[in-house]
Structure 1
Amino acid sequence: MDTIGIIGCGNMGGAIAGSLQMKVIVYDSDSRKAEQLATNKATITVVDSLQALFKECSTMLIAVKPQILSTLYPELQALGSNSKRWISIAAGIPLSVLTEKLGTHEIVRFMPNIAAQYGRAVTAVAPAEGCSASLREDSLQVASSFGSAFLLPESQFSAFIGISGSAIAYVFSFLHALAMGGVAQGIAYPQALQIANDTLKSATSLIDATKANPVELATRVCSAGGTTIEGMKALAQGGFEGLVMRAVEASSEKSKVLEEQAAKQGK
């Protein structure tokens, strides 16, 4: 795939357009937003209508809000949506609705997190039943251009939100808590936060390098009667692991409720 059309140039659509190493043709009802995006990258071209986009592209990426998408279906159908290949990042709109409204099974749904704006997203990728292998592979290539991509069934998207989409905030809270612990021990907050942030990076780099289980790595750090095991004991006494698991569960369950609401809006 050497060309893709993008409908919508908001934060996520714009971030994806800017990260792709291929010809990108964009359409947004706010032409100023689209033109500004195009000035930053030579591979991005702007068109002034969906009709023009359909003429140029066989693969489309939907990057508009669910309530906006619901108003676009009639025009997309009239232009021949059933003859195109589709990728959707429209939040909460399930594949069942997309296949019905677009008239094709050549659809893949993305669930990226906010780090797409910096090329470091973690994205869940779910092809519709009956989707071609070529679109599945092309979609993984697209998702990998702005971070890492994981092929998952759509039924696991809520769980994915719990451990990725929402979990970014958990990590921010953990980093802040580490930094505040440093402040309590006499290190100024800016430096404590940088130390905590770099420590998190070093920890994840060990997992990447060794492929070891995190419990195994933690055990290696814990010397008998040492400082680390005292900290680990305090975490266990506070119910740290159970609390994180409950946070994942709460986010996942809320995601299911919101997806039902979004699906109704997107019909």
Structure 2
Amino acid sequence: MSVKLGIIGGGVMAEAILSRLLSQNIYAANTVVVSDPLQQRRDYLQKTYGVEVTENNAVVFAANVILLAIKPQVLDRVAADLSGTANSSNLLLSILAGVPLKRLQAAFPACAVIRAMPNTPATVGAGMTAIAPSSQVSPQQIDRAKTIFAAVGEVVEVSESLMDAVTGLSGSGPAYVALLVEALADGGVAAGLPRAIASQLALQTVLGTAKLLQETELHPAQLKDRVTSPGGTTIAGVAALEAGGFRAAAIAAVKAACDRSRELGN
């Protein structure tokens, strides 16, 4: 078998990426090897996807592309296990939150390294991933990384200096949106709607609005203006949001998450 893709760590995000790479025929199952310390997890991945599995991380470095999907706390131990294994033909894609390129390059000095930040909607193919390549990564390797992460959603390339901001916005953003959906549903219940119907209305409203903005390329302010009419219900609701500091709170949330990401990376 010629190993083309190796994955270190078989968790939820790694599985999401693996499943869509296979379903879209970007990689064949017999060209993928996944390492994970848990026998139960290895058995599941092998049975579900037909890939080779191992508990030996060094086996993964026979691949051209390695997806590093471990917890940041075990990076040093994994790097020590792989000392001398990596070579210049390896493209390492790290999805370790808060771990900067300089640390990754120190851990894997022979590899071309790209730092990536996907978010949880990747598990349903609707993710947003930002990638930041190191200086030794070739244009062809960047294209390969974009192809891999495009399998789980959209991809943008940014400088590493912006990765903390990416983390604060799209990395942590699904939690903010989930809070919004929950709050809208609670508002519906407060106004007299049954919980199930309020939840359905809230979720579809957020989903539909996002799709509308994406497909029409309207600025959000334009869509807001189209929905509001003089003296109407929507402008009354918007005024209440403004009085509650809705926009300021959203901006502050992104900045706080960005600052915390920066702290964790130091």
Q: 1:26 aligns with which of 27, 31, 34?
A: 34
Question: How much does 1:217 deviate?
Answer: 0.9
What is the distance in 1 between the residues matched to 2:42 and 2:17?
Answer: 13
2:43 is equivalent to residue 35 of structure 1? yes
Displacement of 1:30 in angstroms is 2.1
CA gap 1:66/1:174 in 2 versus in 1, 3 angstroms: same
Task: Report the counterpart of residue 264 of structure 1 in structure 2.
Answer: none
**Per-residue CA distance 1:178-201 (angstroms, 9 max, x = gap):** 111111111011110110110111
- What is the aligned counterpart of 1:63 among 69, 84, 101? 69
Q: Is the 8 A contact 1:26 1:45 kept in 2?
A: yes
Superposed CA deviations along residues 144-168 of structure 1, whole A, max 9, x for unmatched, are: 1112222111111111122112121
Sort the Cα spacing of 1:163 and 1:51 in 2 relative to 1 into closer, same or farther, 3 A: closer
Alignment of 1:73-112 (within 5 A): 73-104=79-110, 106-112=112-118
What TM-score, normalized to structure 2?
0.90
Counterpart in the other structure of 1:4: 5
User: Is the CA contact (8 Å cut-off) linking 1:105 and 1:129 kept in structure 2?
Assistant: no
Q: Does 1:131 align with 2:132?
A: no
Shift of 1:177: 1.2
Unaligned runs of 5+ in 2: none
Given candidates 203, 206, 216, the residue that maps to 1:210 is: 216
C-alpha distance in 2 between matches for 1:39 and 1:14: 13
SS in 2 for 1:125: strand
Amino acid at match of 2:42: A
TM-superposition CA deviations, 1:182-232 (whole Å, max 9, x none)? 111110111101101101111111111210100011101111121111111
- Cα 1:185–1:51 shift into 2, 3 Å: closer
CA contact (8 A) 1:105 1:128 kept: no
Does the 8 Å contact 1:4/1:59 carry over to 2?
Answer: yes
The CA distance in 2 between the partners of 1:116 and 1:205, in whole Å, is 16
Indicate whether 1:49 and 2:56 are aligned. yes
1:263 alignment partner in structure 2: none
The equivalent of 1:181 in structure 2 is 187
How many residue pairs end up in the alignment? 258
User: Per-residue CA shift, 1:75-127, capped at 9, x if unaligned?
Assistant: 32321344411111122211111112211461111111122322222211111
Does the 8 Å contact 2:89/2:111 carry over to 1? no
SS of the residue corresponding to residue 148 of structure 1 reads strand
State which of 113, 122, 128 in structure 1 corresponds to 2:128.
122
Ranges of 4+ aligned residues in structure 1 off by more than 6 Å: none
1:234 corresponds to 2:240: yes
TM-score scaled by structure 1? 0.90
Give 1:48 shift.
4.6
**Secondary structure in structure 2 of the residue aligned to 1:124:** strand
What CA distance in whole angstroms lies between the structure 1 residues aligned with 2:174 and 2:220?
18
Q: Which among 222, 244, 257 is matched to residue 263 of structure 2? A: 257
SS in 1 for 2:61: helix
Counterpart CA distance in 1 for 2:58 and 2:166 is 35
Q: What secondary structure does 1:64 align onto?
A: coil
CA RMSD of aligned residues (A): 1.9
What amino acid maps onto 1:31 in structure 2? Answer: Q
Preserved contact between residue 124 and residue 149 of structure 1 (Cα < 8 Å)? yes
Q: Which residue, 212, 215, 225 being the options, matches 1:219?
A: 225
The equivalent of 1:14 in structure 2 is 15
The answer (yes or no) to whether the contact 2:86–2:110 under 8 Å persists in 1 is: no
Q: 1:249 to 1:52 in 2, by over 3 A?
A: closer
User: Aligned residue for 1:161?
Assistant: 167
Q: Distance in 2 between matches of 1:32 and 1:237?
A: 52
Give me the whole-angstrom Cα distance separating, in 2, the residues matched to 1:205 and 1:124: 20
Q: Are the counterparts in 1 of residues 86 and 111 from structure 2 also a CA contact under 8 Å?
A: no
